[in-house]
Structure 1
Amino acid sequence: MSTSKNILAIIPARGGSKGISNKNIRDLNNKPLIAHPIDTAFKSNYINRVVVSTDNELIKNVAIKYNAEVVDRPDELASDSSLVIDTIRHTVQYLAETENYKTDIIVLLECTSPIKSVIDIDLGIESILEEKADSSTSFKESPISPNRLWRIDENSVAPYIENAKPFLPRQQQPVAYQLTGQFYALSNKILQENPGSISIMLGKVYPIKSTTAYVIDIDEEIDFLIAEEIFKKII
């Protein structure tokens, strides 16, 4: 499917990661972490602009090296409590005001999920182009049924979901899904219609059941080690 729409990949990458120092430019599988979502974006059949939003000069230089554009992120959007949707809004507005660039579809690609499927991303974009949905993201089957979660009070425990049957065999438990974090795609129209929302999943959400066998979120040192082993298996 060809398109004349402006499809913008936004990669947020602030410099003040508390968990792992300089996480976004640390090497993973022989290239900086931030290079993974940049490279994925350029492989998409639909994304036609790739922008990194950052407050950090080192990240900025690495992003440019890997052919991404950079929008300087204000300090107030670069704290631990900042919301990613506010970074999206800032980037879209900045490009509109400085270049008269009209964004049609936004694709959020986060560095912390370096293992991404271009197939999944393009399917999500297609769902918006074909007007099946306002936004899209990918899911994987959860290894733990919500019926097997527990609530612990001071002196007692109980199933987290009332009347759940946690001791039923796994095959008899309801199937549940969790977000993979690979991507979030949404139309700029639905973004502008929801100025106060903190969610990236807006309007009608089209689910993509992930084709990627391995999904990881990079938050701690151990996650880098696991990710390195995964890359050895998939490359």
Structure 2
Amino acid sequence: MERVAAIIPARGGSKGIPGKNIKPFLGVPLVAHAIKAALGAKTISDVIVSSDDDAILSVAREYGAAALKRPADISGDEASSESAVLHAISENDACQAADTVVFLQCTSPLTTSEEIDQVVTARAEMDADTAFSVVEVHAFLWQIEADGTGRGINHDASKPRQRRQDRPREFRETGAIYALRKDGFVPEGVRFFGRSIPVVLPDAIEIDLDTPRDWLALEAYARAAGHQS
């Protein structure tokens, strides 16, 4: 059976929401939601939290994940998530033994175990290098030119506005789940390489926790929808 390691990057610094990754969301530290979803996924063999922050690593252990201390030079605002995943692969035995690594974002606390399984399974069944979660979107996107005028990106504004059902289907990366073939990811160093497969998650929530307003909106939605901690 394929071995799959889930890596959850969770650095200590957060300018938008201070202490975000251990701030209680629905009464539980934010990082714990990702840990619980990963531990509940049938496809996941090991769960590792990578952080520069000892408080986050303590919460990780409390909720059943392995804790990996991340160096400061790959923990700042400019550090990529890929650098944290590559570090985990180089330092953690479970990651080194894995065939697939799954990168999960803390900022999507409503991600479910079933959604993780769906993405991991799609990568394996379609023999893809990368599988990632997406949601269908229907937005009309605009680019603002240097002179201040708008230019339609995914639509022709000079023509009558199309109905949603008449437009090509378009999808947005949720940023929540990426399943990567480890042996291909390590030399490439980026999450998209080779053959990449979008996996549509119809019930995924499109709000990431980047600002206090995001937090209020998502927590209010979660409570109204009956989500439990």
Same topology, TM > 0.5: yes
- For 1:208, the equivalent position in structure 2 comes to 199
Aligned length: 225
2:105 aligned counterpart, secondary structure: coil
1:153 aligned counterpart, secondary structure: coil
1:92 aligned counterpart, secondary structure: helix
Q: Deviations for 1:88-137, whole angstroms, at most 9, x for unmatched residues? A: 001001124xx794121111111011111322221221123335211101
Residues 1:25 and 2:22 aligned together = yes
2:131 aligned counterpart, secondary structure: strand
Cα root mean square deviation, aligned: 2.1
For 2:69, the aligned partner's letter is: D
CA displacement at 1:170 relative to structure 2: 3.2
- For 1:220, the equivalent position in structure 2 comes to 211
Residues 1:40 and 2:31 aligned together = no
For 2:120, the aligned partner's letter is: I
2:92 aligned counterpart, secondary structure: helix
Instruction: Answer whether contact 2:10 2:49 (CA < 8 A) is retained.
Output: yes
CA distance 1:117–1:158, change in 2 (3 Å): same
Instruction: Answer whether contact 1:34 1:111 (CA < 8 A) is retained.
Output: yes
- For 2:90, the equivalent position in structure 1 comes to 93
Instruction: Answer whether contact 1:117 1:211 (CA < 8 A) is retained.
Output: no
For 1:226, the aligned partner's letter is: A
Q: Deviations for 1:118-163, whole angstroms, at most 9, x for unmatched residues? A: 22221221123335211101111113034xx232322533334695
- For 2:145, the equivalent position in structure 1 comes to 152
- For 1:190, the equivalent position in structure 2 comes to 184
- For 1:121, the equivalent position in structure 2 comes to 116
Report matched runs for 1:164-175 at 5 Å. Answer: 165=158, 167-171=160-164, 172-175=166-169
For 1:82, the aligned partner's letter is: A
Which is further off, 179-188 or 74-83? 179-188
1:223 aligned counterpart, secondary structure: helix
Residues 1:16 and 2:9 aligned together = no
Instruction: Answer whether contact 1:145 1:174 (CA < 8 A) is retained.
Output: no
Instruction: Answer whether contact 1:184 1:201 (CA < 8 A) is retained.
Output: no
Whole-Å Cα distance in 2 between the matches of residues 211 and 161 of structure 1?
21
Whole-Å Cα distance in 1 between the matches of residues 173 and 186 of structure 2?
24
For 1:187, the aligned partner's letter is: R
Gapped runs of 5+ residues in structure 2? none
Residues 1:55 and 2:49 aligned together = no
Whole-Å Cα distance in 2 between the matches of residues 193 and 204 of structure 1?
15
Instruction: Answer whether contact 1:8 1:105 (CA < 8 A) is retained.
Output: yes
Residues 1:105 and 2:105 aligned together = no
Gapped runs of 5+ residues in structure 1? none
- For 1:84, the equivalent position in structure 2 comes to 81
Whole-Å Cα distance in 1 between the matches of residues 121 and 153 of structure 2?
37
1:202 aligned counterpart, secondary structure: coil
Q: TM-score, normalised by structure 2?
A: 0.90
Whole-Å Cα distance in 1 between the matches of residues 77 and 137 of structure 2?
27
